[in-house]
Structure formats: C-alpha cells, structure tokens
C-alpha cells in the first residue's frame, strides 16, 4: 500500500519514522492507533527526503512521530504533549499537565521528580518509570522480550539494539514535564 492509500483509508492515524536507518534509507510506518498501534504500511525513504515527507504529512494533518522498528512502541511529540501506544492500547498520554500511564493512573507534573529508563537484570523487562516526589516509582510503560529470555546468546549488545526507544521516549516525556531523564 502506498502512502496516499494508507492515509485515505481513514482512522486515527500516526505516521512514525523508525529510530534506525539502514543504507541511507529510513522506514516510515503509518499506524492506526484507535485500538493500539496497528501498522497500515511501511515505506522506506532516502534520508534526504525525510524532512520533506514529514512536512507533507504535517500539512495534511497527520501527526508524525517515532518508533523503534525492533520494539512495539510508537510515540508522537507535539506542542500539546506526548502520546505513545503499544500494539494493544495507548500507554502514555502526557498532556494538560498530567501524565497518564499504561494503567491510566494520573501523575500531575508537580508530583514528578524525574523520568527513568530501566532494564531488569535478565533483560526481559525494560521500560520507563516515573520517579515521584513521594518516593514511589510507578511503571509508565514497558516491553517484555521473550527473545531475551529464551535466547542464551542474548547479550548487552542485543539489549542496546532493542532499547533505543527507552531513551527517546523517556527524554520526550521528561522534556514535556520539565524534569530530568535518567537513562538505563
């Protein structure tokens, strides 16, 4: 499906650029995020066209965000805030001074101290937590990697390749909140 066909099909659309590029080309995926991030089409563009394609999408009213092609998290940063989806549902809604997490718990910006990335020692569970001023650290969103748990050769290099989304999304949320981001 080409880009115009994907956009004309309607829905709650988000176009997102992959964090990673290969051979001077970057993937753009159009997602319908009405009930989780459902990919409609993926197209590869030369890096030299990314800015122009982004401008065209923005002019057409399509939010443009990012995703990590190795993980099921898609996010959009706008003047209003940050929104993110996994394959099942919206997992982050940071707008109007309130950060809503994967469980729809509300964290007013005034209750936040920092945003932190984390990876459990077995590498399976990784994601973002909110460090709150009351000392609690609720999980905002996460990914469980069956591959990391099942593959005895999975190592820190694999983890680095699979966790770029944590720093990118965590930094976007922290910037929106005016709080520091602490990486993995």
Domain layout of the chain by residue ranges = 3-67, 89-182
Q: Which CATH number fits domain 3-67: 3.30.2000, 1.25.40, 3.30.420, 3.90.870?
A: 3.30.420
Is 12 within 8 Å of 76 (Cβ atoms)? no
Lowest-confidence segment of 14-28, 37-51, 91-105, 140-154 by average pLDDT:
140-154
- Does residue 157 surpass a pLDDT of 90? no
- Mean pLDDT of the region 140-164: 86
Considering only residues 100 and 123, tell me which one the structure prediction assigns the higher pLDDT: 100
Closest CA to 101 of 85, 77, 78: 85
Summarised one tens digit per residue, pLDDT across range 70-104 is 888 999 999 999 999 999 999 999 999 999 999 99
Q: Which tokens go with 141?
A: 């969103």
122 close to 141: Cβ distance less than 8 angstroms: no
How far, in Å, CA of 173 to CA of 184, rounded?
Answer: 15
**pLDDT attached to residue 66:** 97
Report pLDDT for 78: 93
- The Cα–Cα gap between 78 and 84 comes to 12
* Token couple for 167: 């720093």
| pLDDT for residue 124 is more than 90 | no
Burial class (CB in 10 A: 0-12, 13-18, 19+), 29: buried
Least confident of 36-45, 120-129, 152-161, 173-182: 152-161
3-class SS at 71?
Answer: coil
Q: Does 148 have pLDDT greater than 90?
A: no
Helix (H), strand (E), coil (C) string for 144-169: ECHHHHHCCCCCHHHHHHHCHHHHHH
Rounded to the nearest 10°, the torsion over CA 37, 95, 179, 163 is 0
Q: Is the pLDDT of residue 60 over 90?
A: yes
* Residue 160 confidence class, pLDDT cut points 50, 70, 90: confident
At residue 159's C-alpha, the angle toward residues 158 and 164, to 5°, is 110
């Amino acid at each position: 499906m080409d880009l115009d066909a994907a956009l004309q099909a309607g829905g709650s659309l988000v176009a997102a650029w992959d964090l990673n590029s290969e051979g001077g080309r970057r993937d753009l995926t159009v997602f319908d995020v009405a009930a989780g991030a459902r990919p409609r089409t993926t197209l590869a563009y030369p890096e030299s066209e990314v800015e122009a394609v982004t401008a065209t999408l923005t002019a057409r009213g399509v939010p443009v965000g990012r995703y990590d092609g190795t993980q099921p998290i898609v996010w959009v940063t706008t003047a209003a805030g940050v929104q993110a989806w996994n394959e099942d549902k919206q997992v982050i809604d940071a707008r109007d001074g309130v950060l809503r997490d994967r469980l729809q718990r509300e964290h007013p910006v005034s209750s936040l101290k920092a945003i932190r990335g984390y990876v459990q020692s077995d590498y399976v569970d990784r994601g973002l937590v909110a460090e709150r001023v009351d000392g609690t650290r609720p999980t905002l969103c996460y990914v469980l990697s069956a591959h990391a748990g099942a593959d005895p050769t999975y190592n820190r290099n694999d983890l680095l390749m699979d966790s770029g989304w944590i720093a990118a999304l965590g930094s976007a949320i922290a910037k929106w909140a005016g709080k520091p981001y602490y990486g993995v």
